[in-house]
Amino acid sequence: MSENNNLLEIRNLTIHYITDGGTVYAVDDLDLSIGYGETLGFVGETGAGKTTTALGIMGLIPNPPGKLVSGEIYFEGEDLLKKSKKEIRGTRGSEIAMIFQDPMTSLNPVVTVGEQIAEMIKIHENVTKQESLKKAEQMLETVGIRKERSKDYPHQFSGGMKQRVVIAIALACNPSLLIADEPTTALDVTIQAQVLELMKKLKEKYKTSMIMITHDLGVVAEICDKVAIMYAGNAIEYADKDSLYLKPMHPYTVALFNSIPDLEIDQDELCVIKGLTPDPTNLPKGCPFHPRCPKVMTKCSQNKPNKVEAEPGHFVRCFLYEKDKIK
């Protein structure tokens, strides 16, 4: 993988949170890439390291307790981790923007939505206050809200409308990369579908690359081009959507798909993945999934598997796909 061919390159990224209760191994030796105009889906259970990775890209890891142990994050050929705080602030919002999980807490309750969008534009573009407010009205209309409502406050909007405002703020400066952290979690199913369709249209309109963080495989199928399956801070499987959905390889990925209810088959009970996700302060030695894995081998508890390109463009961290399959 070369930074010349991709918008974003993450190499060997490791992030820890050092707390009184122990060290939280949030992200461990992560490798990923996103091409221009592509959408990458981050899928995994709570605590898998999805949001921490996004905060690492944004330069928002709280320090303390967060510590960026190692790694490189190349964005358009430049390592973000080598930039100064001032340079990162310039990149954040204008070139890389993030839609946070809960729109209720992302907006300032005592500032009108128009002013909040205009503030983002004013920070990153050389425009007057009047020009920024006018562009804010245009952004509201872009996300399906009448410009007259720019003078309204967040409490006057429904949950779905608040999320549209947050999307307008994120896209106000036409960023190259948009990170969406479970943007539909707090919304009902009908509004979820509307917001996802809106994001899909705006992504195509602005030619934006996107990271979609979710635990919903249906959302990934609808929006994403590539998928990274996250488990205990690792990207255990990474491939284009069709390859991963048609031929999942890692036992955890297979178990995730098996746990989805099949509406065409009568089932007495759902398939579940045995055991619990590991404590991030006390990860098991070797492969982090081995205590729950139906295909566990002796060496799974002793060594951590390397990333293997099992098929062209299809990467997996599992001893089942390494050439030397010692039991």
- 179-220 per-position pLDDT tens digit: 999 888 777 888 888 888 888 888 888 889 999 999 888 889
pLDDT for res 190: 85
pLDDT average, residue stretch 248-259: 92
| Residue carrying the six token digits 């358009």 | 76
Q: In the chain, how many H helices and how many E strands?
A: 10, 12
**pLDDT, greater one: 98 or 4:** 98
pLDDT average, residue stretch 268-292: 89
pLDDT for res 325: 53
Omega of the bond leading into 305 within 30 degrees of 0 (cis) = no
Alpha carbons 174 and 28: distance in angstroms, whole number: 31
At 134, is the pLDDT very low, low, confident or very high (cuts 50, 70, 90)?
very high
Sign of CA pseudo-dihedral 148, 127, 164, 186: negative
At 23, is the pLDDT very low, low, confident or very high (cuts 50, 70, 90)?
very high
Q: What is the pTM assigned to this prediction?
A: 0.89
CB 29 within 8 A of CB 14: yes
DSSP string, 184-198: TTTS-HHHHHHHHHH
pLDDT for res 324: 60
Counting Cα atoms < 13 Å in the Cβ hemisphere of 269 gives 3
**Among 8-12, 246-250, 258-262, 283-287, the least confident range:** 258-262
